[in-house]
Structure 1
Amino acid sequence: MTVDTNSTALVSTTKSNWAPQFSPIFPGLNTTETEPTYNASKIDTGATLSKEKLDLSQYPRGWKVPPTDSAEVKAIIDRIDWSLVPKSPKHKAQNGDIIQTGYDASKDPDCWWTSSGCTKPKIDYIPSDFYNCPTKGDWGLTYDDGPFVYSSDDDKETKQENKWAEPELYNFLAKEDLKASLFYVGSNVIEYPAAARRALNNGHTLCSHTWSHPAMTTLTNEQVVAELYWSLKAIKDATGVTTKCWRPPQGDVDDRVRAIAWQMGLHTVIWNEDTDDWAMPAPGGGNLPPEKVDAKFEKWIKKQQQGKYNTGIMVLEHELNHATVGMTEKWLPKLKETFNIVSAMQCNGVTQPYWEKSFEYPAVH
């Protein structure tokens, strides 16, 4: 593949007919500094992190679907080959639930994961999603919705959450000598860039989880671009890396969204086991009894001990609140006795998950 001076080379792949990709260029960012490199030395486990935010004036409003008429987003829209984006329907949601009425999951023409669990696109120029670990015995460690932002709000409930915010999880993983794939919401990254830098420097893999965490198949093509672009820019601004992996919120993805994300340099990552930890009682959570989540971990350990898995598994967890962080702290030491716990991207052989080629993770096998 040829490389131009703007670092927008096509990604080298093992298949010659994948749709071409490009690395977004981020106006206004200083990208001339030395590229970051993997830190293989002793990692930082300091108890505090800087609370300094990124320049919020350079970003759209957090936790809202960004506008599509900015010059930066328009530039990305113009670079996409729209003939390679299927004309799948834009779905609707009601009260947070994606409406599937009328969609034929048995035919599943759009490889819509929400409806059918499809992970192999119906179009042959986009690769299959990563959704498990190919090697038996591997536990692909992932956390969504980070970085878990420290808050100085006066709200009593939020104050109780503060001690569980980063670097709590990252320091625990360092103590356990474990690496994870972290799927970051851009709206969190701009509020707590020091946490993202800590995670990168500690050897975790950073991926996008969109800008504002919407159901992606409910958005227009242009909104999909905006959600992905601003999350990528926030991660680049905070850490210096441009990621090539992303996970759709709720797993809501189809070939239309995949094709846009792929051209923007992003490989779709799903999962094949779900802790449902997000639903436990806690800020941002639900009413699921923690015992139900405990039972899932117990089931996975027993199943692995009985040799019932044909591959490794990729497990969905969250750095969302005290309940989710506490649950992973409870179970990871026990899981290490049965599983080989590895970063989900590395268990899929991805050692260079960023466009910055000098940044390379060690292989895990």
Structure 2
Amino acid sequence: MQKDQLFTRRGALLAGAAAVGAAGTASVFARGTGAGTPAGPGAPAPGAPAHRLPMKPSAYRLQPLTGYGPPRGAAARTPVRSEPLLRITGRGRAMVLTFDDGPDPRYTPDILDTLAAYDVHAMFFVCGEMAAHHPELLARMADEGHTVGNHTWSHPLLTKLTRRQIRSEMTRTSEVIENAYGERPRWFRAPYGAWNRAAFQLGSELGMESLAWTVDTLDWTSPGTGTIVDRVENGAAPGVVVLSHDAGGDRTQSVRALRRYLPQLLDSGYHITVPRRQHT
């Protein structure tokens, strides 16, 4: 683009910017009531840690020019919570499906294929060391409308780390997600469900809400495909957030279970959705 063309474009955009108002902000999640209780640092929920892989340098991605758009209102501050969010609210018969510890090229593509077959979106809480090796899967998630959250770099027990270590786990993962997915994550989930004050505070500083779950499939224990299906169907209710895994071990049962319970949920009138936070 020639220099005079760039200045002409910028001038035209800035001239029309004054007519545009800033959008309000809202949050679609609330503290859970009824089903489930928040996981605290004293009793972390079980889960399988992601495979530790050697770190690879992230590919540099050019960012679009900034400053050539309408003025934006001040971003709403992400609240510092004392317990994670557990369920969605105010959306009728809506549920959220979440998958942790990936992406894993052995299982994540099959899960994405099933979701695409039924035209539904899910959340993927990814580990940075896995995402750094498989950025193409995060790019696919972005293309297909899924939400990607931060699940730390190496899946540690945060309650055993220093504040500096927790920040590093979160920040490195957010950077990898931004490079591969196209934007920084707005959601965070602590490994094993073990939050502490530092995790809430640092997550807030990085613009992330803390999301837990209301239905744990315990698929990481390999209980059998039928058992996983039963746990999802028995726990199904408006506002429920389901926890499953697409990495961290053999997830064949998780893949097969999704193929069975997803169409049954849809036939029962449930709407599978993803969170839509409007503030950054």
**Structure-2 residue corresponding to 1:173:** 115
Summarize the Cα distance change of 1:220–1:142 in structure 2 as closer, same or farther, 3 Å threshold. Answer: same
Match of 1:271 among 213, 223, 228: 213
Residue 239 of structure 1 deviates from its aligned partner by 2.4
Query: Partners of 1:209 and 1:295 in 2: how far apart?
Result: 26
**Structure-1 residue corresponding to 2:234:** 299
Query: Partners of 1:125 and 1:240 in 2: how far apart?
Result: 25
Tell me the TM-score normalized by structure 1: 0.53
Map 1:341-352 to 2 at 5 A.
341-346=271-276, 350-351=277-278
Residue 34 of structure 1 deviates from its aligned partner by 6.6
Residue 294 of structure 1 deviates from its aligned partner by 3.2
**Structure-1 residue corresponding to 2:172:** 230
**Structure-2 residue corresponding to 1:327:** 257
Query: Partners of 2:109 and 2:253 in 1: how far apart?
Result: 16
2:145 is the counterpart of 1:203: yes
Asked if the contact 2:232–2:242 (Cα under 8 Å) also holds between the matched residues in 1, the reply is no
**Structure-2 residue corresponding to 1:259:** 201
Tell me the TM-score normalized by structure 2: 0.68
Summarize the Cα distance change of 1:323–1:351 in structure 2 as closer, same or farther, 3 Å threshold. Answer: farther
Q: What amino acid maps onto 1:131 in structure 2?
A: L
**Structure-1 residue corresponding to 2:88:** 133
Q: What amino acid maps onto 2:270 in structure 1?
A: N
**Structure-2 residue corresponding to 1:193:** 135
Aligned residues: 211
What's the C-alpha RMSD, in Å, of the aligned pairs? 2.6
Summarize the Cα distance change of 1:32–1:130 in structure 2 as closer, same or farther, 3 Å threshold. Answer: same
Q: What amino acid maps onto 2:102 in structure 1?
A: G
Task: Render the CA deviation track for 1:83-122: whole Å, top value 9, x for unaligned.
Answer: xxxxxxxxxxxxxxxxxxxxxxxxxxxxxxxxxxxxxxxx
Query: Partners of 2:144 and 2:151 in 1: how far apart?
Result: 20
Task: Render the CA deviation track for 1:186-242: whole Å, top value 9, x for unaligned.
Answer: 111111111110011100011111101111111110110110011111111212211
Query: Partners of 1:179 and 1:298 in 2: how far apart?
Result: 18
SS at match of 1:232: helix
Residue 170 of structure 1 deviates from its aligned partner by 1.0
2:271 is the counterpart of 1:336: no
Query: Partners of 1:189 and 1:278 in 2: how far apart?
Result: 20
Map 1:1-365 to 2 at 5 A.
29-33=60-64, 125-126=80-81, 129-134=84-89, 135-149=91-105, 162=106, 165-280=107-222, 288-301=223-236, 304=237, 311-320=238-247, 321-346=251-276, 350-351=277-278, 355=280
Summarize the Cα distance change of 1:132–1:14 in structure 2 as closer, same or farther, 3 Å threshold. Answer: closer
Asked if the contact 1:140–1:344 (Cα under 8 Å) also holds between the matched residues in 2, the reply is yes
Query: Partners of 1:189 and 1:128 in 2: how far apart?
Result: 27
Structure 2's unaligned 5+ residue stretches are: 1-23, 28-57, 67-78
Summarize the Cα distance change of 1:343–1:214 in structure 2 as closer, same or farther, 3 Å threshold. Answer: farther
Of the two structures, which has the highest relative contact order with CA contacts closer than 8 Å and spacing of 6 or more? Answer: 2
